[in-house]
């Protein structure tokens, strides 16, 4: 992005460009820009993160192409897939509802929740964000006042502005409770984890290409590694050096891996790229979520070489956002 684009934004004290943008992206004015001109908002956030312009005319890496897809294509279906309630409709249309965890209820605010109607254990969270989930093992031991305060705070926060993911800002926010998935005994034999193994499958044009396995996802911490989608060979070389876990224990392939791959590919069909998160509980497969902008489309954990390799698997479609198309024609 050329410096002249920031003349109207620069503070009189002439802060450094990146330092100024770190303040600007937290402002109400920047939120308005995400709503009115996502392309420019994405340019600004990219420069803030990397200190360089994004090349809209020649994106190459996975991260760059995700930004391009967000800026220049219709992302209405992205919103449906990102909404943890509405995504169930998409999954049902594909005939994959048997892979969904049970849904116990959906509410606009915590005061509407009938906790007496919920089972003893459940997972409760917001439908629009990341990090709001509370795992309830025994509701008789829960401080409901504290839980309600947490849920009301999370549901009040419009997700998508902090990391410039415009399709998240369109989600109608609510609270939802789902079936709590147990940690299988087979998992406990291999790793010490407080959460089930999370299999993240990256797909390109509906074909699975790489698998991330995460576990022990507690308080924002996670242990993970990369595997070949077909051979289950551990592929730590695909990770950037600082994300190569030294103490990661190699995990055997899950039961019905082929079925997991088929489910992921069905969900990702029709999208240039998608990450599908699945769980496998003693051979029974559950869909966790679908993500079009993993880490906001600014993933730090893949190596530069693998970023390029995955980016090469994305064929960019025609521009479909007309006001961007016209702007680019006139530029």
Q: What is the pLDDT along the chain (331 residues), one digit of tens a residue?
A: 454 555 455 444 445 777 778 888 889 999 999 999 999 999 999 999 999 999 999 999 999 999 999 999 999 999 999 999 999 999 999 999 999 999 999 999 999 999 999 999 999 999 999 989 999 999 999 999 999 999 999 999 999 999 999 999 999 999 999 999 998 765 665 666 677 899 999 999 999 999 999 876 655 567 788 999 999 999 999 999 988 876 667 889 999 999 999 999 999 999 999 999 999 999 999 999 999 999 999 999 999 999 999 999 999 999 987 444 444 443 3
Structure tokens at 67: 């930004």
Structure tokens at 325: 């198309």
Place of tokens 């993993």: 294
Q: Identify the sign of the CA torsion 219, 225, 226, 227.
A: negative
Cβ-based neighbour number of residue 165 at 10 Å = 24
Q: Where are the beta strands (DSSP E) in 240-311?
A: 273-281, 284-291
3-state secondary structure of 277: strand
Would strands 198-204 and 273-281 be described as parallel, antiparallel, or unpaired? antiparallel
* pTM exceeding the 0.75 threshold for the entire prediction: yes
**pLDDT given for residue 7 in this prediction:** 46
Domain ranges of the chain: 3-54
Nearest residue to 59 (alpha-carbon basis) of 307, 324, 252, 331: 307
Place of tokens 């880490």: 295
**pLDDT given for residue 191 in this prediction:** 65
187 to 35, 190, 284: CA distances (angstroms) = 43, 5, 14
**pLDDT given for residue 114 in this prediction:** 96
Structure tokens at 75: 């992302």
């Amino acid at each position: 992005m050329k410096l002249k684009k920031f003349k109207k934004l620069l503070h009189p004290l002439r802060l450094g460009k990146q330092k100024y943008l770190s303040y600007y992206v937290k402002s109400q004015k920047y939120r308005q820009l995400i709503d009115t001109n996502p392309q420019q908002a994405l340019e600004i956030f990219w420069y803030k993160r990397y200190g360089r312009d994004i090349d809209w005319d020649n994106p190459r890496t996975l991260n760059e192409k995700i930004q391009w897809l967000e800026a220049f294509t219709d992302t209405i279906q992205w919103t449906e897939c990102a909404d943890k309630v509405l995504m169930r409709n998409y999954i049902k249309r594909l005939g994959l509802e048997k892979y969904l965890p049970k849904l116990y209820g959906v509410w606009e605010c915590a005061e509407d929740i009938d906790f007496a109607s919920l089972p003893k254990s459940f997972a409760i969270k917001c439908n629009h964000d990341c990090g709001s989930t509370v795992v309830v093992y025994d509701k008789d031991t829960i401080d409901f006042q504290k839980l309600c305060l947490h849920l009301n705070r999370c549901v009040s926060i419009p997700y998508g502005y902090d990391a410039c993911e415009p399709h998240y800002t369109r989600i109608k926010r609510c609270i939802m409770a789902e079936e709590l998935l147990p940690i299988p005994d087979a998992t406990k034999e291999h790793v010490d984890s407080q959460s089930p193994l999370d299999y993240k499958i990256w797909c390109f044009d509906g074909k699975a290409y790489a698998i991330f396995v995460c576990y022990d996802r507690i308080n924002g911490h996670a242990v993970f590694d990369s595997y070949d989608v077909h051979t289950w060979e551990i592929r730590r070389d695909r990770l950037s050096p600082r994300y190569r876990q030294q103490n990661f224990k190699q995990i055997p392939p899950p039961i019905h891996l082929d079925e997991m791959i088929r489910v992921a590919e069905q969900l990702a069909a029709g999208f240039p790229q998608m990450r599908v998160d699945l769980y496998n509980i003693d051979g029974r497969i559950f869909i966790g979520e679908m993500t079009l902008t993993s880490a906001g489309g600014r993933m730090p954990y893949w190596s530069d070489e693998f970023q390029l390799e995955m980016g090469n698997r994305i064929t960019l479609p025609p521009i479909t956002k007309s006001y961007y198309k016209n702007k680019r024609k006139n530029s």
